[in-house]
Chains A and B, each alone.
Chain A
Amino acid sequence: MSEVTQLIHHYLRHNKKFPHMLCAGCGHGILLGSLIRSVHNAGLSKDEVVVISGIGCSGRLAVYVDFNTIHTTHGRALTFATGIKMANPELVVIVLMGDGDALSIGGNHLIHAARRNIGVNAIILNNEIYGMTGGQCSSTTPQDCFSMTTPFGQLEKSFDIVDMALASGANFVARTTAFHAQLTDEVIGQALANPGFNLIEFFSPCHTQYGRKNKYKNAIAMYQDLKSKTMDVDKYKALEESKREGVMPIGVFLKRDDPALETRYAGVRAKLQEAKQKKAEAAKAAQAKPAKAKEPKPDKGAKGKETKQDKGDKA
């Protein structure tokens, strides 16, 4: 067994949950492999990572990996994640969603998670279709493309996930595809190291439900398409407007390190804690005034220390 395969096996629940249910040619496994490599390279232990998924083909990925995992309901993975991150900010929270999860039934949660800048790494596995229920159109099925519920072509426009994340206030926004495994490793790695809400759109070909209805001869043709139509985002930006038609930019669109919601919240808690402590000391001093007892100095230590204090309080 090669080193990479061994590494992946270390993180899989391969004795219990396999064989997996992904179809031949599906890109989801490529993402999962990439996620495992990125977590490993970031030096995180299995126990400090939480993987949360919704419903659909992507929903199964959380079941396959040996982290803390929750397989939630359709569309609500991000809200579960918000609760987890706020309750225990030390966990590294990764959310795996399909396009149906993230943009249709749970679309509202996506824009609000981005707006809040909650410290969650959201990966949207966009296969442009509802794969598990049998190939109905989703909110990312491109206009005029075919699905089980749009036999004469999708009339509605589709969402551009990257534009939406940029407009909603995410800290980190990237797009990659199943054809670009190295780029995927790279952007997940960057996201894991970045504070706040990090969003990665991952194009995952679904030949079973989408490709064969849309003139892709086989899954390989879909990968070739991803290869030929994608372009590095910086090159894309340099391109004349007229030449951009049909080209899909990939790479990192935005990276900033605005403090995450949970960090700002910890700041508020620290302030309150400090005020509480001061008040207690003042009361104590007033009580012990005649004796002029020694007063313990308020701890104005580093943020990390305050967080630990918070934890102690909770326990």
Chain B
Amino acid sequence: MAKRVGLEVSLAVADAVKMSKAEVVSAYPITPQTHIVEELSHFVANGELDAAFIPVESEHSAMSAAMGSAATGARTYTATSSQGLALMNEMLPIASAMRLPIVMTIANRSLSGPISIWNDHSDIMSIRDVGWVQIFVENGQEAFDISVCAFKIAEDHRVLLPMGVNMDGFMLSHMIEPVEFPDQSDIDDFLPGFTAKMILDPAEPVTMGPVGVPEVYMEAKVQCEQALINSKPVVKEVLDGFAAKFGRQYNLVETNGKEGAKTLFVTMGSLGETVMTSVDEMNADGKDVGQVRIRLWRPFPQEEFLAAVKGADKLIVLDRALSPGGVRGPVASELASLFHGQADAPEIVNVVAGLGGRDVSVDEFKEIYETAQSGGFKDAYTVWGVMSNA
């Protein structure tokens, strides 16, 4: 029988990796991700997880070791945050180009400087275009469930790409939440062992990662992108399969609040739950507002998003990262290009908020809504909550 326990979300993710029977974990400590791999090292030491745990000397090595491991056909996991992700940057596009289905949890934390250990999305936005499947979770149960799904998605022979599971550092990773654990046998049914398509095998030697001269580079790159685009139906299929087995449905894009509302908040990550409360309260006050939450970030679920916002005339897009010198924040830029040329495109109001762990409250979202209604946001984007005399 599935059991429901209260525990720190990081530890729930570690349990998900254990129950997914990862075979190799390589990691380097960095706040706020550390608890996940620390717990995994305990599982390995206790014999609860039959895996190799590699305490490498840097994140650069963590990703390199993970790639080596995945190249031999082992189910491979790692986790990181912020500067650690930045240090992995060199290998990330190579991992996708080599089609290595590594699963990585990213406990999102702002990039230095100033040095910050707190949460925003500047780390993940800096590696947006590395060709990984990228998904965001909002709560502890989702973090557990999606982590299990991530192995199934990444290792699917129609995908074979690395997958990043983003969860907000501290705001989510360090929360203690009730999480329902399925039975191991059910997880085993859902997620059989990894059968690799092409591995390093002395009997059938292959070369991975050779030079792509100008005559083949573009073809290789386009194939890789096509693989990422083609992963979307697989992500949907796996999430639907999870729902059929475990009863919890996750969609690529979620909606809540008043149906057919003219104004919609667009969120990604755990701050979406605060917005949810805010929207519910505003609906109770008779306000015409709803919410769309982006779960899958790469490949971007274009059709699903367009369907979710159909009929709305204003989107308040929340970004948790700046794109310095750009036109808007990363999510708003994405949506602006999605709506480009569409006759009934909604107005995009872009609010950049919650950088470096700055909290945004339920009331502040109401204020943001009111400001947007009264046309108070005049610029292409507004950075919310900056103290004028700071």
Contacts and interface: CB of A to CB of B under 8 A. Distances in A.
A132 B87 CA distance: 19
Contact of B55 (A73, A134, A136): A136
Given A74-B83, A148-B41, A152-B45, 5 more contacts: A107-B57, A136-B29, A151-B41, A151-B45, A156-B55
* Most A C-beta atoms less than 10 A away, residue of B29, B42, B45, B112: B29
Interface stretch (B30-38, B93-101, B142-150, B196-204): B30-38
Contacts, number: 49
B136 interface: no
B29 A105 contact: no
15 contacts: A75-B58, A104-B57, A105-B58, A105-B59, A132-B31, A134-B38, A136-B34, A136-B38, A148-B41, A149-B29, A149-B37, A149-B53, A149-B55, A150-B41, A151-B42
Interface in B9-51: 28-31, 34-35, 37-38, 41-42, 45-46
A139 interface: yes
B115 interface: yes
A223 interface: no
Contacts of B30: 133
B163 to A, nearest CB: 24
A130 interface: yes
A46 interface: no
Interface of A: 55, 71, 73-75, 103-105, 107, 130, 132-134, 136-137, 139, 148-152, 156
A71 B83 CA distance: 14
A94 to B, nearest CB: 20
Given A73-B83, A130-B29, A149 B38 contact: yes
Contacts of B41: 148-151
Nearest to A133: B29
Contacts of B38: 134, 136, 148-149
Contacts of A133: 29-31, 34
Main secondary structure of the interface of A (DSSP, over half): loop
A132 B59 CA distance: 17
B53 A139 contact: no
Interface in B80-100: 83, 87
B55 A137 contact: yes
Contacts of A150: 41, 45, 55
A136 B38 CA distance: 8
Interface string B280-317: 00000000000000000000000000000000000000
Contacts of A130: 29
A150 B41 CA distance: 7
Interface string B48-70: 00000101011100000000000
Nearest to B59: A105
A74 to B, nearest CB: 7
Contacts of A71: 115
Contacts of B28: 104-105
A139 B57 contact: yes
* Most B C-beta atoms less than 10 A away, residue of A71, A134, A149: A149
* Most B C-beta atoms less than 10 A away, residue of A137, A148, A150: A148
A134 B29 contact: yes
Contacts of A149: 29, 37-38, 41, 53, 55
Contacts of B58: 75, 104-105
A252 to B, nearest CB: 28
A254 B87 CA distance: 35
